[in-house]
Amino acid sequence: MSIPEPGSGTDLENGARPSTPTGDNLILDHIRATAAGYAAVADAGGGRSGEAADLGLHMVDLACPSPFGNLAHLTAPVPEARTADLAAAMKDFFGARDGGPYLLFSPWPTGDLGAHGFVLGGHPPVMVRPAGGTPTECDDLRVVVATDPDELEAFERTLAIGYPASELLPFGSAPRLFGDGVLASGWSFYVGYCDDEPVATAAAFVGEGLVLVEAVSTFESHRRRGFGDAITSAATFTAPELPAMLISSDPGRGVYQRLGYMPITRYTLWIGTR
C-alpha cells in the first residue's frame, strides 16, 4: 500500500465516482443496478426518467399513487452543503406532473431533507448473498416465471395484495407499475402458486456483477409456510453465478438470513410529496 504525501494532489478513489468501475464495491454496484433496473421499468411503463448528473441523482416517475412507482436513487454521496440542491432537483422533476409521493434511496447519510419538506422514511438493511449454493424450494408452492402479459398482470396483482400496496387496490384502479415491455428488459418476475392460487411474488434484475432482488411478497393468509423463502430463493438464483442483493425490512430480515443473505449496511430513505 502506498500512502500519498500530504498536499501531493493525488486524485484518490473514493468508491463512489462516475468513473469508479463495476466491481469496486458492492454498495455502488447495488445502487447503480437499482437505478438502471427502475429506469427500465419506467421506460416499459411509459414513465419519465431524469437525472442531475452533478449530484449522482437518478429519477423515474410513473405518476403512480404508490411511491414504489416514483423513485430517486443517489449513486454518489451528496455534500451537506448541497442538500438544498438535491431537494430542488427532486421537486423540479417530480413536481412537473401530478402523481403520488416519491422515495429517495441513498446508500450514504444525507443532509437534513426534513428542512425542505421531506419525511425520513427509515434506514432499512441492505443484504448480500454470495454466489453458489442450492436453491430453497417448498413442496406446496409452484413457482412460475412470467413470460407473457397475463402472467405479468398476475404478478402485479399478487404483489399489490400481498405486500400490501394499499394505494394500488383495488387492482386495476391505478396505473400499472409494470408495462408489458418490461418482460424483455432484464427483469424476471416470479409468481408462487398454492393450489393454483397466486399467493407470492419476487422479481430479479440482472445488473452488472449482481442480481437485484425486489418485490418480495406473500399473502398474509399464506405466511409462515416457507413460501417467502422459496420465492425469494427463485429470484436469487436468476443468475446463480452472481451474488444477489436486496433491501430488507427489519422484521423480514430473518427470512433472508435463512437463505444465506448477510447485512452489510443500511440505506437512508426520504419520502417527498408533490
- The three-point CA angle 197-200-206 to 5° equals 130
**Contact indicator for 38, 60 with CB cutoff of 8 Å:** yes
The x, y and z cell numbers of residue 79, run together, are 455534500
The pLDDT assigned to 2 comes to 58
Separation CA 237–CA 98 (nearest Å): 38
**Contact indicator for 55, 85 with CB cutoff of 8 Å:** yes
Domain 129-264: give its CATH code.
3.40.630.30
- The one-letter amino acid code at 177 reads L
For range 169-185, the mean pLDDT: 89
The pLDDT assigned to 4 comes to 59
Separation CA 193–CA 200 (nearest Å): 7
**Contact indicator for 199, 218 with CB cutoff of 8 Å:** yes
Residue ranges of the domains in the chain? 26-125, 129-264
For range 236-248, the mean pLDDT: 98
- The torsion angles phi and psi of 20, rounded to 5 degrees, stand at -65, 125
What three-state secondary structure class fits 120? Answer: strand
pLDDT single digits (tens) 64-82: 999 999 999 999 999 999 9
pLDDT single digits (tens) 80-99: 999 999 999 999 999 999 99
- The one-letter amino acid code at 244 reads A
**Contact indicator for 77, 16 with CB cutoff of 8 Å:** yes
Does the pLDDT value for residue 8 go beyond 80? no
Q: How confident is the model at residue 6 (pLDDT cuts 50, 70, 90)?
A: low
Q: How confident is the model at residue 11 (pLDDT cuts 50, 70, 90)?
A: confident
Three-state secondary structure of 216-255: EEECHHHCCCCHHHHHHHHHHCCCCCCCEEEECCCCCHHH
For range 35-39, the mean pLDDT: 97
Q: In terms of C-beta density within 10 A (0-12 exposed, 13-18 middle, 19 or more buried), how is residue 114 classed?
A: exposed
Separation CA 9–CA 253 (nearest Å): 43
